[in-house]
Amino acid sequence: MEDQVKAALENVRPSLQADGGDVEFVSVDNGGVVSVKLTGACGHCPMSQMTLKMGIENYLKKEVPQVTSVVGV
């Protein structure tokens, strides 16, 4: 599952990079919780939680059905 999550994140990264940010994979646990770190402009943006939940989490759940949630670290 880790490889699938990393591949899906590669599809998300260009959108974040276009706004001066990025996302880094940290880990995924057995329960399907993915930990990521938002960096650059995304790391300090007041909308980062919305980006994390409505953008990254929704996309990962669609691409990798075993994902249950995405959390920022």
pLDDT in tens, 38-64: 999 988 888 899 999 999 999 999 999
SS3 content of the chain, % helix, strand, coil (to 5): 50, 25, 20
DSSP 4: H
CATH number of the domain that 49 lies in? 3.30.300.130
- What integer pLDDT is reported at residue 44 of this predicted model? 84
Mean of the per-residue pLDDT values for the chain? 94
How many domains does one find in the chain? 1
Q: What is the mean pLDDT of residues 22-41?
A: 96
Whether 11 has a pLDDT exceeding 90, the answer reads: yes
What is the span of the domain harbouring residue 19? Answer: 2-72
How much is the pLDDT for 57? 97
When pLDDT is averaged across residues 3-24 and rounded to a whole number, the result is: 95
